[in-house]
């Protein structure tokens, strides 16, 4: 007899858990087989429970038949890693940036290739343990080959090597063969191995593997780990596993798993440098107003470059001195320029605008009105980051302009994202509460702000001592 338990998720979706006791086809011992079904079809509670009763009976019969037929694997609706990864990746395509989608696709393919080597690619995801994930993460320490592996010729090949024959068999090209008797000639490693195999040569006598291996940065490895952790959280949510195996892994023997790298002082403007930078922008305000305003907004409101490019005039609240961030405008090689929701739920936010910038925005507003007398009726159609013709800019052009401006004016190179870092560092250095800074930065949690920017918070040792001294 099947045991059925019902519960509701945080979103109010009804979930049924079926448990059936049956004999293991391999050992003959009794074990419990679980199966979770979620009411994704939006059925009424009565219809869903009726459906579950029928599915429980089918599941019970399936287990009994499996034992009789000595079936080694019973499908309990627990997907393999590749199946869950495909389902998850298709789901994030519309909610995450395209670059994140591509990274997730790459890491899932790498991990599935690893699972094939250990025979876990066709097993339920619940069979993947902490050690399996740890060994995969450890494999990144070896680095990766950029391009194809290369071999260098140590000495001329013997006369029995027929280059015309190698060309006919497409092992090497005719052009490549012209230099094959020159010491130091580089060819692809697989071609060198084929030549040695064909003519019975010892590889190390004639060739040297000079393949250049590039090391993964710690941030890249941590980012890959974070993607895997997110994916395995789906398996936890479906109750296929009780604990996420990725959470127990480590990156290196002594390194932490924090995925955020602290921002260094060289990546931001100091308080004095920021003042000088703003003065320089004001000097070219009239001529390059369409460039100066976006740069000022990123610096004085902490917007990401994608958020700046997605900012429309309808998002500016002059009365309350606020900028409402509702979208990002991004670019990728595959999709071109596209719009999406901001990076996270908390990235949709309202940021206060300093009074001098409000005055600049009013002048910018009039600049738009000069080109379109009906501009005030089309605020949702015009972007603030634009060309001189008031059309949306190509997202990469702002980066190029900023780099050239800094070089001509003698400033150190600070990226568009560095302007955002500067915004945060200045607020913290002026003792703005960390929770407030985190909210205006659009961070998902104030711990993110602390991990990245904590060293910009002034030393408060004297304040602590003064506060305690008041007790005496």
> Looking at residue 460, what is its pLDDT?
62
Same domain, 46 and 190: no
List CB contacts of 208: < 8 A, sequence separation 6 or more: 151, 152, 154
pLDDT digits (tens, 9 = 90+) for 344-374: 788 999 999 999 999 999 999 999 999 999 9
Query: In this structure, what token pair is assigned to residue 103?
Result: 């990274």
CATH number of domain containing 57: 3.10.450
Within a domain: 76: no
> Looking at residue 94, what is its pLDDT?
66
Same domain, 320 and 451: yes
Inter-residue contact 339 to 328 (CB < 8 Å): yes
User: What are the φ and ψ backbone dihedral angles of 2, each rounded to 5 degrees?
Assistant: -75, 145
Within a domain: 73: no
Same domain, 125 and 149: no
Same domain, 272 and 420: yes
Give the number of other Cβ atoms within 10 Å of residue 234's Cβ: 18
- Supply the DSSP string of 335-385, one letter for each residue: TEEEEE--SSGGGSEEEE--HHHHHHHHHHHHHHHTT-TTGGG-TTT-BSS
> Looking at residue 102, what is its pLDDT?
86
Same domain, 415 and 362: yes
Within a domain: 120: yes
Give the CA distances from residue 398 to residues 29, 328, 386, 403, in Å, rounded to whole numbers and listed in that order.
67, 15, 9, 9
Same domain, 274 and 423: yes
Within a domain: 400: yes
> Looking at residue 354, what is its pLDDT?
95
List CB contacts of 109: < 8 A, sequence separation 6 or more: none
Same domain, 229 and 360: no
Same domain, 297 and 319: yes
Same domain, 342 and 198: no
CATH number of domain containing 449: 1.10.443.10
Same domain, 345 and 398: yes
CATH number of domain containing 120: 1.10.150.130
Assessment of whether the complete model's pTM goes beyond 0.85 = no
- Give the residues of the chain that fall short of pLDDT 50: 71-76, 253-255, 257-258
Long-range contacts of 406-411 (CB under 8 A, 24+ apart): 409/280, 411/269, 411/273, 411/276, 411/277, 411/280
Within a domain: 75: no
Same domain, 164 and 221: no
For residue 3, what is the enclosing H or E element?
strand 3-8
* pLDDT cut 70: percent of the chain above it: 93
Within a domain: 255: no
User: What are the φ and ψ backbone dihedral angles of 261, each rounded to 5 degrees?
Assistant: -90, 130
Structural domains counted in the chain: 4
Structural domain boundaries enclosing 436: 265-456
pLDDT digits (tens, 9 = 90+) for 154-174: 888 888 988 888 888 888 887
């Amino acid at each position: 007899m099947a045991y059925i338990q019902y519960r509701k998720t945080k979103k109010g979706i009804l979930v049924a858990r079926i448990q059936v006791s049956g004999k293991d086809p391999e050992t003959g011992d009794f074990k419990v087989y679980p199966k979770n079904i979620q009411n994704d079809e939006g059925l009424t509670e009565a219809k869903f429970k009726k459906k579950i009763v029928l599915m429980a009976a089918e599941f019970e019969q399936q287990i009994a038949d499996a034992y009789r037929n000595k079936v080694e694997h019973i499908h309990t609706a627990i997907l393999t890693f590749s199946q869950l990864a495909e389902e998850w990746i298709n789901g994030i395509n519309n909610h995450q940036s395209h670059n994140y989608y591509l990274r997730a696709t790459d890491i899932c393919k790498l991990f599935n290739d690893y699972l094939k080597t250990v025979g876990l690619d066709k097993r339920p995801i619940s069979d993947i343990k902490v050690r399996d994930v740890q060994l995969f993460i450890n494999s990144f320490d070896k680095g990766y080959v950029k391009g194809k592996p290369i071999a260098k010729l140590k000495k001329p090949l013997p006369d029995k090597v027929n280059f015309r024959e190698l060309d006919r068999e497409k092992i090497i090209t005719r052009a490549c063969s012209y230099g094959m008797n020159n010491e130091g000639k580089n060819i692809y490693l697989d071609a060198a191995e084929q030549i040695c195999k064909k003519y019975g040569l010892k590889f190390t006598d004639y060739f040297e593997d000079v393949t250049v291996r590039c090391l993964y940065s710690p941030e890249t490895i941590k980012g890959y780990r974070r993607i895997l952790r997110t994916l395995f959280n789906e398996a936890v949510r479906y109750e296929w596993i009780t604990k996420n195996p990725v959470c127990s892994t480590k990156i290196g023997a002594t390194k932490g798993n924090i995925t955020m790298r602290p921002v260094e002082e060289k990546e931001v403007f100091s308080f004095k440098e920021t003042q000088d930078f703003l003065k320089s922008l004001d000097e070219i305000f009239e001529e390059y107003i369409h460039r100066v305003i976006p740069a000022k907004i990123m610096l004085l409101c902490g917007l990401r470059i994608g958020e700046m490019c997605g900012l429309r005039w309808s998002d500016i609240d002059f009365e309350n001195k606020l900028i409402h961030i509702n979208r990002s405008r991004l670019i990728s090689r595959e999709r071109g320029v596209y719009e999406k929701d901001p990076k996270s739920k908390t990235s949709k936010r309202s940021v206060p605008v300093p009074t001098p910038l409000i005055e600049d925005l009013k002048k910018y507003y009039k600049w738009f009105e000069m080109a379109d007398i009906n501009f005030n009726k089309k605020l949702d159609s015009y972007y603030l980051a634009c060309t001189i013709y008031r059309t949306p800019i190509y997202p990469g052009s702002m980066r190029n302009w900023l780099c050239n401006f800094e070089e001509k004016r003698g400033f150190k190179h600070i990226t568009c994202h560095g302007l955002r870092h500067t915004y945060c560092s200045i607020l913290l250095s002026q003792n703005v509460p960390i929770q407030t800074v985190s909210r205006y930065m659009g961070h998902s949690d104030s711990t993110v702000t602390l991990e990245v920017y904590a060293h910009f918070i002034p030393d408060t040792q004297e304040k602590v001592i003064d506060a305690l001294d008041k007790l005496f």
